[in-house]
């Protein structure tokens, strides 16, 4: 059951991220064209997956109504896809508003509808509902559900339309009535949480010699600036990228950006770990792992090699300390001055041999979800060993996040729940 569920989630990801590709690198293209698959229409009143809509195996729990005045209204984005007909009977454009995930699935479905029935388009009869026309706790109130038909309103097509919606990656599809199909998706942050922690594709890592490389171009076997030991207080060194715990070049995610006083700005997902001090104690001994979403202005992080080297050398002489070790500059404790939440593209989680890495000139962890660097590093020991035996023969690969589950499981056996990122406390499958 668990395995099935896992494979289900995995294939949804693979589907979800296949339609779009830009950004860096080939990203895709190493897939062969799949043989046409036999598609079975849904029966009237059938839903897929075969669990209740608002459970974890489907679209997850209802999180509250979104109105035009609510803070969460910004989570909704309009869909202007010209291949989709919006009924818009309210004449407010509300049917076009939906979450990014809902939009991605709908756009994928629009393409399969045109392929299946040339000359026919996907039609949306209900999207986001601000007028309370649906039952209590309907996902329409959150922009996470759509009711659909085909543009020719041929009811004989709706059973197959429901199947196409399942294939397009909707998290729950219900052939609700002879007149329409209902589809819904998980909330954005529950999806983000499941992928553990990641950096966007346009973040930069530092190679030996100081050159910078885009995260999306990084490959296993390359050595990048990191810190020794499995915590932030170690010495700087170059650590080999063993594998990617997560690699989804086309994913859209919500990221936290932490801006620092030295101009280095680190961008990463909420549940990812980095090393920060308390606001009150900005000293190296106070560095410890923290979730990105818990770091506040005033806390210090370790930054590397930003800006004026002369001043740094001056400081070195004054301090009388050796700040260069093996040719690598030591990090500076630097105050975080601002925090922002933004959308970004790509989700990359490289695993280095030392469990740390410097991204955008700021020291971060390779791990996420559980605020215990030692535990994560220990739990993934076998994986690092496997990869060092096999070399980097695995290639970059794409889209795994099973490690976050593994960690979650190990953590749930060994740790108090307070060590989990809040998103992981809601529960996982």
Ligand X SMILES: *[C@@H]1O[C@H](CO)[C@@H](O)[C@H](O)[C@H]1NC(C)=O
Interacting residues with ligand X (CB under 6 A): 259, 263, 265
- Distance, in Å, from the CA atom of 105 to the CA atom of 84, rounded to the nearest integer, reads 12
Q: Which of 109, 14, 23, 12 is nearest to 59 (CA)?
A: 12
Report the residue number whose CB is nearest to ligand X. 265
Residue 147 labelled as part of a binding site: yes
- Minimum Å distance from CB 202 to ligand X? 11
Closest to ligand X by CB, 210 vs 263, is 263
Query: Which CB sits closer to ligand X, 185 or 216?
Result: 216
Minimal distance, residue 362 CB to ligand X, in Å:
10
Residues 355 and 370: their CA atoms lie apart, in Å, by: 14
For residue 177, CA distances in Å to 47, 147, 148, 331, 384 come to 11, 10, 11, 62, 51
Q: Which is nearer to ligand X, 203 or 230 (CB)?
A: 203
- Cβ 337 to ligand X, closest distance in Å? 9
Cis peptide before 49 (omega within 30 of 0): yes
How many Cβ atoms sit within 10 Å of the Cβ of residue 113?
24
Residue among 8 and 259 whose Cβ is closer to ligand X? 259
Residues 10-35 as b/e (b if ≥16 CB within 10 A, e otherwise) read: eebbeebbebbeeeebebeeeeeeee
Instruction: Compute φ and ψ for 106, nearest 5 degrees.
Output: -65, -40
According to the annotation, is 129 in a ligand binding site?
yes
104 is in an annotated binding site: no
> Minimum CB separation from ligand X for residue 358, in Å?
13
Q: Where are the beta strands (DSSP E) in 22-62?
A: 47-48
289 annotated ligand-binding residue: no
Q: Nearer Cβ to ligand X, position 20 or 339?
A: 339
Do residues 429 and 57 touch, judged by C-beta distance below 8 A? yes
**Minimum distance from residue 22 beta carbon to ligand X (Å):** 21
Query: Nearest distance from residue 260's CB to ligand X, in Å?
Result: 8
Residue 77 marked ligand-binding? no
Burial 226-248 (b: 16+ CB within 10 A, else e): bbeebbbebebbbbbbbbbbbbb
Annotated ligand binding at 75? The verdict is no
- Between 150 and 265, CB nearer to ligand X: 265
Q: 140 labelled as ligand-binding?
A: yes
Pick between residue 51 and residue 261 the one whose CB is nearest to ligand X: 261
Question: CB of residue 306 vs ligand X: minimum separation in angstroms?
Answer: 8
Q: Give the separation between CA 363 and CA 372, rounded to whole angstroms.
A: 16
Which secondary structure element, helix H or strand E, spans residue 223, and what is its range? Answer: strand 223-227
89 is in an annotated binding site: yes
Residue ranges of alpha helices (H) inside 77-174 are 100-116, 158-168
281 is in an annotated binding site: no
Which residues are annotated binding-site positions?
Answer: 89-90, 95, 125-126, 129, 131, 140, 147, 182
Which residues are annotated binding-site positions for Ca(2+)?
Answer: 89-90, 95, 125-126, 129, 131
């Amino acid at each position: 059951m668990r395995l099935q569920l896992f494979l289900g989630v995995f294939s949804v990801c693979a589907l979800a991220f296949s339609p779009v590709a830009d950004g860096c690198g080939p990203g895709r293209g190493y897939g062969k064209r799949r043989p046409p698959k036999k598609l079975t229409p849904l029966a009237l009143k059938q839903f897929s997956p075969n669990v209740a809509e608002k459970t974890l195996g489907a679209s997850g729990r209802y999180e509250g109504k979104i109105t035009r005045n609510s803070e969460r209204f910004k989570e909704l984005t309009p869909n202007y896809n010209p291949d989709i007909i919006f009924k818009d009977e309210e004449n407010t454009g509300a049917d076009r508003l939906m979450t990014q995930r809902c939009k991605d699935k709908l756009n994928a479905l629009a393409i399969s509808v045109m392929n299946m029935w040339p000359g026919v388009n996907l039609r949306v009869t209900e999207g986001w509902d601000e007028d309370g026309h649906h039952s209590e706790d309907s996902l329409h109130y959150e922009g996470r559900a759509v009711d659909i038909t085909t543009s020719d309103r041929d009811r004989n097509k709706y059973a197959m339309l429901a199947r196409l919606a399942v294939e397009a990656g909707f998290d729950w599809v219900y052939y609700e009535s002879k007149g329409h199909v209902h589809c819904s998706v998980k909330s954005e942050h529950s999806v983000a949480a499941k992928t553990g922690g990641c950096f966007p594709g346009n973040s930069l890592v530092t190679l030996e010699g100081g050159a910078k490389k885009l995260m999306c171009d990084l490959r296993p076997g390359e050595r990048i600036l990191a810190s020794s030991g499995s915590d932030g207080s170690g010495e700087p060194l170059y650590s080999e990228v063993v594998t990617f715990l997560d690699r989804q070049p086309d994913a859209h995610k919500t990221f936290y950006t932490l801006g620092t006083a030295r101009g280095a700005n680190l961008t990463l997902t909420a549940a990812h770990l980095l090393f920060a001090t308390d606001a009150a104690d900005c000293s190296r001994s106070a560095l410890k792992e923290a979730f990105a979403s818990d770091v506040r202005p005033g806390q210090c992080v370790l930054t590397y090699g930003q800006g004026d080297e002369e001043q740094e050398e001056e400081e070195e002489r004054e301090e009388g300390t050796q700040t260069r070790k093996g040719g690598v500059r030591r990090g500076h404790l630097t105050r975080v001055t601002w925090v922002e939440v933004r959308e970004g593209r790509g989700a990359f989680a490289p695993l280095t041999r030392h469990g740390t890495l410097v991204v955008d000139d700021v020291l971060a962890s390779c791990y996420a979800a559980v605020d215990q660097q030692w535990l994560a590093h220990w739990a993934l020991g076998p994986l690092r060993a496997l990869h060092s035996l096999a070399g980097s023969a695995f290639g970059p690969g794409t889209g795994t996040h099973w490690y976050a589950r593994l960690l979650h499981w190990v953590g749930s056996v060994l740790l108090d729940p307070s060590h989990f990122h809040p998103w992981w406390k809601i529960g996982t499958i």
